[in-house]
Amino acid sequence: MKSSMIIALIPPLLERPSTYKFHLIGYMPPLSLAWYKIRGERTTWRPSSVTHLPVLSRLHLPLLYSFLHTFNTPAMSNSSLTFKGYGIHDTKQWSDFKVVDTKPKQWDEEDIDIAISHCGICGSDIHTITGGWGNIKGLPLVAGHEIVGTVVRVGSAAAEKTGIKVGDTVGVGARIGSCGQCRACKTDNENYCPKGLDTYNSFYPDGTLSQGGYGTAIRANHNFVFPVPKGLKPEYAASMMCAGLTMYSPLVRNGAGPGKKVGIIGLGGLGHFGVLFAKALGAEVYVFSHSSRKEQDAKALGADHFVVTSEKENMKPLRGTLDLIVSTIDVADPFPLRDYLKLLFVNGTFVNVGIPDAKLPQLAPIDIVANGCRLAGSLVGSKKEATEMLELAAEKNIRPWIEIFPMSQIKDAVEGMKAGKPKFRYVLKQDLE
């Protein structure tokens, strides 16, 4: 069957049950008919849902979903549209993933639908699926909020406000919605909206449970969809959607740049992004780690200094010198928070981005009064910051250290993540059919 025949073939296929399924042979850019070869094989397909297609990979979904939308078929009605994903059914069996059908929120013209190509694994995912952050709001749950993929549908309002179009590469991070009306939302701080919605494990106003990126597709409000520059590979952009943005936001909000001394505590997935972005912004970077084991990695990432914290004498010369410290580790007892606050210059800031299950260490008033330092937190970042971050990453050719797993190997990947094996991030590549 020639590719040119597809235009004539699609309308009748959508009007009645079809006896064909389509395999797209070879890797070609989506949405370009002339570059696809198509062969028909007899089977049964009823177009009541995109996920009923016999073959549903990242190569197929953008093309076929686009046709379904173009011809306004029943597949686009929210009552029948479902996505597929790897979900858990019990926090006690947190790595026992099953392929499940999930229902997206009710379509709105502010929304964008995305066929997922990559999804990073975040520490937040592990906290959630293991029950570390409390009960899950609904099961089965598909986690994942470091999402990159191809746009397959754009609401009219979303298109007008963003310029995003079908075929664009975009990302989605840890937040997927907000009220849009509060002071935070109106000042480029929508990530702090009191009514913000998490990308997974939240309920939309219509009662739908939000489901994440360990699957085939996601629907998101345009305010939480970030264009990925052409010079940035999707697998690199994926882990930036949460881990990268979590570090970039406190750096830029606290003036990291030329002439500033920035400390990064911990050299894991978050910490390595801290080094990459702090250096890209022009700061002098200090990495703090409990042993010398990661010193070579820190220097390879661009760190100017490496401080072994298990030897307290190493910290004394740094007292009163740093402008900003960003901690990526669990700041809970017995973490020596007081010792780190002493490293700050006048009005310096200590920012905690980790969200441990335990409480913060106790402080005395003198700990923050002596140098006028600030103790702060940070929650991912805004769309404005995400867009700037991705542009900076493309401009500076920032390459995070990642390991890619087929999405079908999600069990191995999340278990490895929990065991602390990544160097420094795991990214899932779509292969769910």
The reply to whether 43 falls in a domain is: yes
- The Cα–Cα gap between 51 and 81 comes to 8
Do 187 and 272 fall within a single domain?
Answer: no
Q: Are residues 87 and 163 in the same domain?
A: yes
Residues 154-166 have pLDDT tens digits of: 999 999 999 999 9
Q: Is residue 147 part of a domain?
A: yes
Residue 86 sits in the same domain as residue 222:
yes
**Which residues have a Cβ under 8 Å from the Cβ of 340 and sit 6 or more positions away?**
263, 265, 288, 325, 327, 350
In the three-class reduction of DSSP (H, G, I as helix; E, B as strand; rest coil), residue 169 is classed as strand
368 with 267, same domain: the answer is yes
Residues 406-410: what's their mean pLDDT?
99
- Is residue 236 in some structural domain? no
Looking at the predicted structure, is the pLDDT value of residue 57 above 90? no
CATH at residue 364: 3.40.50.720
Q: Which of 67-76, 93-102, 385-394, 407-416 has the lowest mean pLDDT?
A: 67-76
Domain hosting 89: range is 82-227+401-429
Tell me whether residue 232 is in a domain. no
What are the CA-CA distances from residue 65 to residues 50, 60, 70, 114, 120 (Å)?
A: 7, 8, 9, 10, 24
Q: What is the pLDDT of residue 79?
A: 61
387 domain residue, yes or no: no
pLDDT beyond 70 at 16 = no
- Residue 300 is inside which H or E element, if any? helix 295-301
217-253 residue pLDDT tens: 999 999 999 999 999 999 999 999 999 999 999 999 9
How are the residues of the chain apportioned to helix, strand and coil, as percentages rounded to the nearest 5? 30, 25, 40
Smallest Cα–Cα separation from 76: which of 45, 43, 104? Answer: 104
**Single pTM value for the model:** 0.84
Q: Do 324 and 216 fall into the same domain?
A: no
- Region 147-154 average pLDDT: 99
| pLDDT at res. 69 | 43
183 and 152 in a common domain:
yes
pLDDT in tens, 353-392: 988 777 889 999 999 999 999 999 999 999 999 999 999 9
Q: Are residues 298 and 355 in the same domain?
A: yes
Three-state secondary structure call for residue 433:
coil
- pLDDT over threshold 80, residue 150: yes
Do 104 and 43 belong together in one domain?
no
Burial class (CB in 10 A: 0-12, 13-18, 19+), 45: middle
What pLDDT does 273 receive?
99
Does residue 82 or residue 57 have the better pLDDT? Answer: 82
Q: In Å, how far are 265, 268, 283, 322 from 371, measured between CA atoms? A: 20, 29, 21, 11
Give me the percent of the chain exceeding a pLDDT of 90: 77
Work out the percent of the chain whose per-residue pLDDT is above 70. 82
Residue 29 has pLDDT above 90, yes or no: no
Q: Is residue 3 located within the same domain as residue 135?
A: no
pLDDT band at 78 (very low <50, low <70, confident <90, very high): low
Lowest mean pLDDT: which of 232-236, 266-270, 309-313, 403-407?
309-313
pLDDT digits (tens, 9 = 90+) for 113-132: 999 999 999 999 999 999 98
Is residue 87 located within the same domain as residue 10?
A: no
> Using a CB cutoff of 8 Å and minimum separation of 24, what contacts does 162-168 make?
162/112, 162/222, 162/225, 162/227, 164/112, 164/222, 164/225, 164/227, 166/31, 166/62, 166/66, 167/30, 167/31, 167/62, 168/227
Give the single-character DSSP code of 241: I
- The enclosing domain of 186 has a CATH number of 3.90.180.10
Domain match, 247 and 347 both: yes
Asked if the model's pLDDT at residue 108 lies above 90, the reply is yes
Q: How far is CA 75 from CA 52, 154, 239, in A?
A: 10, 16, 31
- Kindly report whether the peptide bond that precedes residue 334 is cis, defined as omega within 30 degrees of 0: yes
Mean pLDDT for all residues in the chain: 86
Based on the domain organization, do 97 and 219 belong to the same domain? yes
In which band, very low, low, confident or very high, does the pLDDT at 28 lie, cut at 50, 70 and 90? Answer: very low
The whole-angstrom separation of Cα 248 and Cα 268 is: 15
413, 428 in Cβ contact below 8 A? yes
Q: What is the pLDDT of residues 299-347, one digit of tens each?
A: 999 999 999 999 989 999 999 999 999 999 988 888 999 999 999 999 9
For the chain, the domain total comes to 3
Question: Do the domain assignments include residue 99?
Answer: yes
What three-state secondary structure class fits 168? Answer: coil
Are 271 and 306 in contact, with CB atoms under 8 Å apart? no
Alpha helices, DSSP H, located in 61-184? 61-70, 123-129, 156-162
- Residue 74 domain flag: no
H or E segment and range at residue 234: helix 234-239
Q: What CA–CA distance (Å, rounded) separates 29 from 26?
A: 10
Whether residue 161 lies inside any domain: the answer is yes
